[in-house]
Structure 1
């Protein structure tokens, strides 16, 4: 094949790639326009253009795009969940997609600003962070409708202190790279940490779960402390591996507490826990001697 044909073929492929990209971008813009029309009940094209342009700028890491979306959300409550979802999408990449620290903190600050009760609070927002990579994630004092963090990877220090989740919370198979705290957190429905890995210390001081909670098949490499935690319904700790100290001092189990097949390798305190119903430790292993449960704590 002559060089002329090779050159023509090369430029033909390049032109095709460019055309496909333009086509896909056009499809994306059309979807944004249609979506905006539905959400804004057919308001002026100026608002549709502003909505689309703000999302473009947000995707490009432009803070002005973020500020425009926040302003739109303040004015139009029906658009708020879409804006929160867009912010979540910007955060989901973490360090893997090259999100720089300043931009990441800007997005997270905006998220917290609208999830924490105050003058800019947006009620009823849900978080979608499945399979996300999050760095130094902190939603202390926030109020969330539903939290989806299954298979997420948390780098740095993570804080869910005093958070309120009114719907279901999912952390299944998530991985916490360093310290994580759920102190004073309230889960109004179920909370699931099935298969979750806690590499650093994990604290659940005074955490409350009003529905079923599960930590089955989870791994705690560091210290795990549940002082004064309250589990109103069944609590599942089947086949959990506690590599460090595990303290349940003053923990209240309102229904069945199941620790079957778990392994406590470090110092353990379950003697001061209150078991209002049944407590099962079948096949549980203890690396250190554990004081027997008090008579009034047994199920």
Structure 2
């Protein structure tokens, strides 16, 4: 909005004009009353006062006009100042945004450069260089939480690569080359194993909640997914670790595998895996589906006090004993066609929502003492070669639909084979002949 500024000349001209108008009015009034009597004099004086009032009123009106213009100009100036301040704040915010975008772009480029260089190191044929790449990725992930899952995916991809361990030897080399070639090969395999062990340690070291699980001192990486499909894992340990989902399908665990007190908040897939050494899942918590279908446990497998949601061990093989003592299965548990070669301990285990042992094979001692079976229990076509102990086992009634009255326990031992004789605790079930 344009605003016209009054000049000094204009103000003087208006003042002169007001005085002239007052004088003219006074003269006119005096000229119009020339009588000399007392009444005439009074009229003249009234005329003069009237003229003076007109002059003063006109001057006051002019002063009021000037004050109004001054107030208006002040308000316009304040409004313009507010607009200028708003424009300045907007320009500052825009500069800040541009600066932040510039910093973000620079940080993204820096992260990309570091990530690219680290990944390039992993492709080196020299083990020390690959180790440097692993540690560079680990540091990058620690400093940039948004990159942690991506870097874990890279480390998992490294572990999924095929490898030959130091114990593997070749018998096809010529006699004159076998010593030197074997030494070089053995050294390369040792170095490769060290690289893989380092990758495993870098992953698991950041999956274990410690004293500092939050804040700048935290080394714990939350909500990490692991994909180690068909990987060869040596002495793998997730002891006391917490992950979201984990896929180990068709993986091979060489040596002792320790998952004690681990927590899986999502699905855990161990289908078709092979444990060449002992496997410890004691007190492990599976909050979602736990898939151990077609899994082979070559040596002793410990699931004592483990907690499962839905568990599937169908067609699995326990070659050296299985311990599920005090385990909790909150949903269905499937051990159909599972082979327990050297003893199965389910003492004090609680199946809350059904247990399927149909066609399972127990060639060693089967311990189901004080086990609680809720829901439907199926041992149909199972085979117990050695002793089976169900002393104190409890088969819970199932609530009938739409009523509060429970029905009889749904227990199926049809075609079950007890080579050492039917346990007396199962005599009440009429389907046992």
Same fold by TM-score, threshold 0.5 exceeded? yes
Aligned to 2:205: 113
Can you list the C-alpha shifts for 1:1-39, whole angstroms capped at 9, x where unaligned? Answer: xxxxxxxxxxxxxxxxxxxxxxxxxxxxxxxxxxxxxxx
Question: Structure 1 residues 161 and 43, CA, compared in 2 at 3 Å: closer, same or farther?
Answer: same
Query: More helix by proportion, 1 or 2?
Result: 2
Inter-partner Cα distance in structure 2 for 1:159 and 1:79: 27
Aligned to 2:385: 287
Question: Structure 1 residues 163 and 245, CA, compared in 2 at 3 Å: closer, same or farther?
Answer: same
**Which of 95, 115, 120 is the aligned partner of 1:51?**
115
The answer on whether the counterparts of 1:125 and 1:144 sit within 8 Å (CA) in structure 2 is: yes
The answer on whether the counterparts of 1:96 and 1:133 sit within 8 Å (CA) in structure 2 is: no
Aligned to 1:79: 147
Inter-partner Cα distance in structure 1 for 2:388 and 2:139: 57
Question: Structure 1 residues 49 and 253, CA, compared in 2 at 3 Å: closer, same or farther?
Answer: same
Inter-partner Cα distance in structure 2 for 1:43 and 1:185: 39
Q: Does 1:261 align with 2:353?
A: no
CA drift at 1:46: 4.1
Can you list the C-alpha shifts for 1:183-219, whole angstroms capped at 9, x where unaligned? Answer: 110011110101111111101011101x211101111
Inter-partner Cα distance in structure 1 for 2:333 and 2:355: 5
Aligned to 2:320: 222
Can you list the C-alpha shifts for 1:122-156, whole angstroms capped at 9, x where unaligned? Answer: 10101101111111111111110101011111111
Gaps of 5+ in 2: 1-103, 166-188, 211-217, 397-408, 410-433
Inter-partner Cα distance in structure 2 for 1:121 and 1:246: 36
CA drift at 1:267: 0.7
Aligned to 1:88: 156
**Which of 299, 311, 324 is the aligned partner of 1:200?**
299
CA drift at 1:42: 7.0
Aligned to 1:12: none
The answer on whether the counterparts of 1:94 and 1:104 sit within 8 Å (CA) in structure 2 is: no
Inter-partner Cα distance in structure 2 for 1:53 and 1:198: 40
Compare relative contact order (CA 8 Å, sep 6+) and give the higher one, 1 or 2.
Answer: 1
Inter-partner Cα distance in structure 2 for 1:110 and 1:292: 45
Aligned to 1:6: none
The answer on whether the counterparts of 1:93 and 1:134 sit within 8 Å (CA) in structure 2 is: no
Name the count of aligned residue pairs: 259
Inter-partner Cα distance in structure 2 for 1:222 and 1:47: 48
**Which of 225, 235, 238 is the aligned partner of 1:136?**
235
The answer on whether the counterparts of 2:372 and 2:395 sit within 8 Å (CA) in structure 1 is: yes
Aligned to 2:245: 146
Gaps of 5+ in 1: 1-39
Q: CA RMSD, aligned part only?
A: 1.9
Inter-partner Cα distance in structure 1 for 2:111 and 2:147: 12
Aligned to 1:187: 286
Aligned to 1:17: none
Q: Does 1:175 align with 2:274?
A: yes
The answer on whether the counterparts of 2:319 and 2:340 sit within 8 Å (CA) in structure 1 is: yes
CA drift at 1:292: 4.0
Inter-partner Cα distance in structure 1 for 2:291 and 2:156: 21
The answer on whether the counterparts of 2:371 and 2:393 sit within 8 Å (CA) in structure 1 is: no
Aligned to 2:347: 249
Q: How does 1:25-44 map to 2 (within 5 A)?
A: 43=107
User: TM-score under structure 1 normalisation?
Assistant: 0.81
CA drift at 1:245: 0.8
CA drift at 1:79: 0.7
